[in-house]
Structure 1
């Protein structure tokens, strides 16, 4: 490929990459004056318009798939917003594919992309493994994951944008430990899945590093929903003793925990301190306001979409991974007065 790209031309002329794409391909509106400037710049940079036209001809749908496990979780609304910011620049549309946290539905999403329904895919999954990763690597179309995954044999063909949720849970657990809490429970996802295991390890390591033994009955698996968090916390609070603090692997479960505490007549944070993760808008609207770990979901979506567009436009990228760091947002639910 010519070393000069659509993005380079866009920067020189002072227009968006999508405007350059329209001018070079002849598809969509572009004013005659702007088109003339773009063609002149392309000629000067030895970037042949027919090259861009060939690339665009290979892309037949102007759509991408966004595969998500849960369409009710506001976390993904923020990701959609970030993705759309990029797609709109390129006149692309999104197909939302609901995988229901099921492996077979994820395989259907991969098959749908294979059938050329879309030109690329951004995929969220709680568990990437040999089979679904093998199917993704066999695709011709580009895919961006939102988990870190590196196959043992290497040669992966996908990109990934991820936030270090291990560090996020570790931070939230350490936050409670610093306040003198020792009886700290953990409410996460399925420990046999990639996402669930990574987050649990953050809790485990924070506790062990502080010399605090793990209490098996205060470690629970749930389903990342408010009802799941409520049910588990209710069981804990009805026991002979209850934890001083609860670290939940996402905000929806944390809000369920808070509801269970309220019903049990326990004050937050005086009787039970609660921390979530995701930093949803809901976190600042519940009472007391929920301490949470910000995961930059809008930025995940934006970066994933930008990488996907680069791949679809044939723009070289040296790095296949983008790592984002979580950030604690301390509010009233975790601070003992």
Structure 2
């Protein structure tokens, strides 16, 4: 995301004197969001844990999602499980990687530094990340990509290397974007409750607009994620 554009849009919204905003920010900075609350504009922030006076925060449990992804691969018998992370300062990315770390540590599996590669939440980042991981010796037998776009990029990278999912590598994504169910193989992923997120976000905003007082308490709501098993993983040893 472009923080300069975000700040510009924020200034425009203040000038327009909008009644309220559901904000999906691209970073963890809160200065421009404070500009909104200081102007008396109620806001609901989605997907970033940024506590602000006069605003509510709506999150999914990214840590639990990362944990569930790694735990599923561990239950399939994998021990060499790598991770393609996102932009590390961002809350969702860091929490998903930390969930993966927790599951690996609980299972007693080592995490080599080279098994966690930095991605960018983009298709190209997944493709670059999987090439980096598959150049290792020994190779990982499974990979958790911290979003579906990187998982799809990894899938293409593996095909270009002549490798097959899940025969040569098991792969799990995160988000459950529409493409994840129609690619071949269909992607096992961590689903977010998108419909529930939108419904709760707008209800929070309506409530905050209706009760425009300084003493209306801020809310922080965390929604669960769900493992969606499809075709991109198999038990270790069946590869």
Whether these two folds match at TM > 0.5 is yes
What is the CA distance between 1:148 and its match in structure 2? 5.1
Instruction: Supply the distance in 2 between the matched residues of 1:286 and 1:149 (Cα, whole angstroms).
Output: 32
Contact 2:121/2:149 (CA < 8 Å) preserved in 1? yes
For the pair 1:131 / 2:31, whether they are aligned, the reply is yes
What is the CA distance between 1:188 and its match in structure 2? 1.4
Q: Aligned to 2:16, what secondary structure does the other structure show?
A: coil
The number of equivalent residue pairs is 234
What is the CA distance between 1:145 and its match in structure 2? 0.4
- Using the size of structure 1 for normalisation, the TM-score is 0.64
Q: Aligned to 1:322, what secondary structure does the other structure show?
A: strand
Contact 2:78/2:141 (CA < 8 Å) preserved in 1? yes
Q: Aligned to 1:196, what secondary structure does the other structure show?
A: helix
Contact 1:183/1:243 (CA < 8 Å) preserved in 2? yes
Structure 1 counterpart of 2:13: 113
For the pair 1:103 / 2:31, whether they are aligned, the reply is no
Q: Aligned to 2:96, what secondary structure does the other structure show?
A: helix
Contact 1:244/1:271 (CA < 8 Å) preserved in 2? yes
What is the CA distance between 1:294 and its match in structure 2? 0.7
What is the CA distance between 1:235 and its match in structure 2? 2.5
Matches within 5 A, 1:165-180: 165-180=62-77
Contact 1:121/1:144 (CA < 8 Å) preserved in 2? yes
Query: Which structure's relative contact order is higher, taking Cα pairs within 8 Å and 6+ residues apart?
Result: 2
Structure of higher CA gyration radius: 1
- Using the size of structure 2 for normalisation, the TM-score is 0.89
Identify the range of structure 1 (118-127 vs 130-139) with the bigger mean alpha-carbon deviation: 130-139
What is the CA distance between 1:147 and its match in structure 2? 2.9
What is the CA distance between 1:130 and its match in structure 2? 4.8
For the pair 1:334 / 2:233, whether they are aligned, the reply is yes
Cα deviation, 1:159-215, whole Å, max 9, x if unaligned, reads 121111111011001100111111111111122232322221111111111111211
Structure 2 counterpart of 1:287: 184
